[in-house]
Amino acid sequence: MLKLDMHVHSCFSNDGVGTPQDLIKALQKRGLQGMALTDHNTIKGYRTIQTMIPSDFLVIPSVEISTADGHLLAINVTEDIPAGLSVEETVERVIDAGGEPIVPHLFRLLSGIKKEKLKAIRPRVSAIEVFNGCSVPNTNLKIAKVAHAFNLGGTGGSDSHDPAFAGYAYTVVDSTDLRIETVLSEMKKKKTWGEGVTMPLIYRRDRMVLSIRQYISRGFKRI
């Protein structure tokens, strides 16, 4: 069985710290076998390590895209996809690029696409993030119920912006095959799920405060 943190940020996100190499070391220390490096609107972090990834660790090139309707994870894309498009068009761009669109933190105030938009893209997605390490347990449970109701698979990710907290949440894949195509196949078959523990309150509080400050400094525009 594989445990992969499918939502994690490095210093290549404007609100993250720690290099991609730091994340790999932290996740290996926690006993995870891989990650999707989902920096905000850029694939640059993956490019810095793509020739230096340990043979026993999987790194999936990915991006967290800021759509006009909220955030969307693009799993297994190797080129940047424009931000600011509708979530429907962004999903199509991700699929055309050979990636898998995953909906993170569905109900988050500033960056979740919410249930109505999920309904609009439901035929084109296989999974939503059912366990986010930065979300409170009740919210994760609520999203898990939505996944079951919509007949979708699930993923898990820490949503950490600091290597110290990477791996608190992860995606469980019933395989030992460290190949991207195997992981994507299981996701498309809706056989993956998210598990983990909620991050410490002090980290979640600090993340919230930082997010609000950055939101204000951007002129009340979402990242």
Helices vs. strands in the chain: H and E counts, helices first: 7, 9
**Residue 110: pLDDT band with limits 50, 70, 90:** confident
Task: Name which of 206, 69, 76, 71 is nearest 134 in CA terms.
Answer: 206
CB 11, CB 19: distance < 8 Å: yes
Please give the torsion angle defined by the CA atoms of residues 203, 157, 155 and 98, in that order, rounded to the nearest 10 degrees.
Answer: 140
Which pair of structure tokens corresponds to residue 106?
Answer: 């569905």
Where are the alpha helices (H) located in the chain, listed in sequence order? 20-29, 44-49, 87-96, 114-121, 137-149, 180-188, 201-217
pLDDT at 14: 87
The token pair at 124 is 């084109």
Q: Residue 211: pLDDT above 80?
A: no
Residue for token digits 């994690």?
8
| pLDDT tens-place string over residues 153-179 | 999 999 999 999 999 999 999 999 999
Which tens digits make up the pLDDT trace of 111-132? 999 999 999 999 999 999 999 9
Mean pLDDT of the chain: 94
With a cut of 60, say whether residue 215 has pLDDT above it.
Answer: no
Q: Which residues contact 196 (CB under 8 A, 6 or more apart)?
A: 131, 133, 156, 158, 167, 168, 169, 170
Q: How confident is the model at residue 217 (pLDDT cuts 50, 70, 90)?
A: low
pLDDT of residue 205: 75
Q: What is the pLDDT of residue 204?
A: 75
Fold of the 2-217 domain: TIM Barrel (3.20.20)
- The answer on pLDDT for 219 being more than 80 is no
User: Which pLDDT score is estimated for 210?
Assistant: 65
Q: Is the pLDDT reported for residue 216 higher than 80?
A: no
Sign of CA dihedral 40, 43, 49, 50: positive
In this structure, is the dihedral angle defined by the CA atoms of residues 115, 119, 120 and 126, taken in order, positive or negative? positive
Report the alpha-carbon distance of residue 83 to residue 155 in Å, rounded. 23
The span from the CA of 42 to the CA of 127, in Å, is 22
Compare 33 and 209 and report the one with higher pLDDT: 33
Give residue 203's pLDDT band: very low, low, confident or very high (50, 70, 90): confident
Quickly state the pLDDT bin for 94 (edges 50, 70, 90).
Answer: very high
**Is the distance from CB of 103 to CB of 72 less than 8 angstroms?**
yes
- Check pLDDT > 90 for residue 206: no
pLDDT in tens, 37-90: 999 999 999 999 999 999 999 999 999 999 999 999 999 999 999 999 999 999
Instruction: Give the mean pLDDT of 78-104.
Output: 97
User: Residues 128, 143: contact at Cβ < 8 Å?
Assistant: yes
